[in-house]
């Protein structure tokens, strides 16, 4: 039964991924591909400061986005799971997910409108007299990318944490209180450890895809907010250098996988 799906994935994912890896070891001169295996692309990727900066920045932004999103989302998930009346939980979850059925492109674009020089945010603060002149550090830089991505991935973090919190047997918390812990210590000794699988899932769900995000850095990032995906796109579609693009894609994947594995490993180790 599983075979059609497995075959589909194999053909459309595994084979293409293999092709990308193969490409990363080739070179391209204008339109002809040179199929001799070489590490030149990797050498270039590691030595050219452009690639290093972009890769470093991408990992940095993804990391910050992940932390911000998860930290902001946890209290919401906690609130919905523990303080909202059970009959209204579905409504809250629905409310949280609705904004994400707006076109992704338009959402990002609207953040540009909100954060811009005479955008919603600045004009609002100006008219309230909180600032005298528009603040500029929130558009066309990494901050804007972080804010926008933190917004874009909100439901993907809230939902797994919420599900993990919902699974916690409430009598465990009462047991902890009964055994002499207060609200705070119960949270840290019982609730949080039991919610950890959800937190880990949320972290990975945000961290891995954000590194490959193209639209957000392009629209709100400015020159200092560009990420590796923008360079991959440039290599493939503008510079006609598919092998270099493939190399960057492979490196990005490896970096993300490595960091995710380390993260999961440390969680396993320190949560036992």
Of 59, 65, 80, 259, the residue at the interface with other proteins (CB under 8 A) is 80
Task: Please give the Cα distance from 82 to 153 (Å, whole number).
Answer: 22
The Cβ of residue 88 has, within 10 Å, a number of other Cβ atoms equal to: 11
Closer Cβ to other proteins, 19 or 131, answer by number:
19
Of 83-122, binders to other proteins (CB under 8 A) are 83, 89-90, 93-99, 101-107, 109-111, 113-114, 116, 118-120
CB 190, min distance to other proteins, A? 18
Looking only at residues 210 through 229 of this chain, which bind other proteins when binding is defined by CB under 8 A? 210-215, 219, 229
What's the min distance (Å) between Cβ of 269 and other proteins? 22
Ranges within 39-78 binding other proteins (CB under 8 A): 72, 75-76, 78
The least CB distance from residue 220 to other proteins, in Å, is: 12
What burial letters (b/e) apply to 172-200, b meaning 16+ CB within 10 Å? ebeebeeeebeeeebbeebbeebbebbbb
Looking at the Cβ atoms of 30 and 83, the one nearer to other proteins is: 83
Q: Which of positions 134-163 make contact with other proteins (CB under 8 A)?
A: 151, 154-155, 159, 162
Asked if residue 202 lies in contact with residue 219, where contact means CB atoms within 8 angstroms, the answer is no
- Residue number, 53 or 102, with CB nearest to other proteins: 102
Piece in contact with other proteins (CB under 8 A), picked from 40-48, 63-71, 180-188, 232-240: 232-240
Question: Of 23 and 142, which has the nearer Cβ to other proteins?
Answer: 23
Asked whether the beta carbons of 228 and 216 are under 8 A apart, the reply is no
Long-range contacts of 251-260 (CB under 8 A, 24+ apart): 251/42, 251/45, 251/55, 252/55, 252/58, 252/211, 252/212, 252/228, 255/55, 255/59, 255/211, 256/62, 256/207, 256/208, 256/211, 259/59, 259/207, 260/204, 260/207, 260/208
23 lies in the binding site for other proteins (CB under 8 A): yes
Closest CB 160 distance from other proteins, rounded Å: 9
Beta bridge partners of residue 29, listed in sequence order: 32
Does 188 sit near other proteins (CB under 8 A)? no
Q: Which lies closer to other proteins via its Cβ, residue 180 or residue 184?
A: 184
Q: Which is nearer to other proteins, 122 or 176 (CB)?
A: 122
What gap in Å lies between CA 20 and CA 254, rounded to an integer?
A: 13
Give, in degrees to the nearest 5, the angle at Cα 79 between 76 and 80: 90
The smaller minimum CB distance to other proteins, of residues 142 and 151, is found at 151
Applying CB under 8 A, among 125, 236, 255, 267 the residue interacting with other proteins is 236
């Amino acid at each position: 039964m599983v075979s059609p799906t497995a075959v589909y994935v194999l053909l459309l994912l595994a084979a293409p991924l293999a092709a990308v890896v193969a490409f990363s070891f080739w070179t391209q001169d204008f339109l002809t591909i040179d199929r001799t295996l070489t590490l030149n692309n990797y050498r270039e990727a590691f030595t050219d400061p452009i690639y290093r900066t972009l890769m470093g920045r991408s990992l940095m932004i993804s990391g910050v986005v992940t932390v911000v999103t998860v930290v902001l989302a946890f209290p919401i998930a906690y609130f919905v799971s523990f303080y909202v009346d059970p009959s209204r939980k579905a409504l809250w979850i629905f409310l949280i997910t609705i904004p994400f059925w707006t076109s992704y492109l338009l959402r990002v674009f609207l953040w540009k409108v909100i954060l811009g020089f005479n955008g919603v945010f600045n004009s609002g603060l100006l008219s309230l007299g909180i600032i005298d002149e528009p603040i500029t550090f929130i558009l066309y830089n990494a901050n804007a990318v972080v804010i926008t991505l933190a917004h874009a991935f909100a439901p993907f973090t809230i939902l797994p944490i919420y599900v993990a919190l919902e699974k916690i047997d409430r009598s465990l918390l009462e047991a902890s209180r009964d055994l002499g812990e207060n609200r705070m210590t119960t949270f840290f000794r019982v609730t949080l450890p039991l919610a950890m699988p959800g937190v880990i899932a949320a972290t990975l769900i945000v961290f891995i895809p954000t590194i490959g995000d193209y639209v957000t850095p392009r629209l709100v990032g400015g020159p200092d907010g560009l990420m590796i995906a923008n360079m991959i796109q440039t290599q493939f579609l503008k510079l006609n250098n598919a092998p270099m693009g493939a190399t960057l894609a492979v490196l990005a994947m490896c970096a993300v996988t490595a960091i995710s594995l380390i993260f999961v490993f440390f969680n396993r180790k320190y949560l036992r």
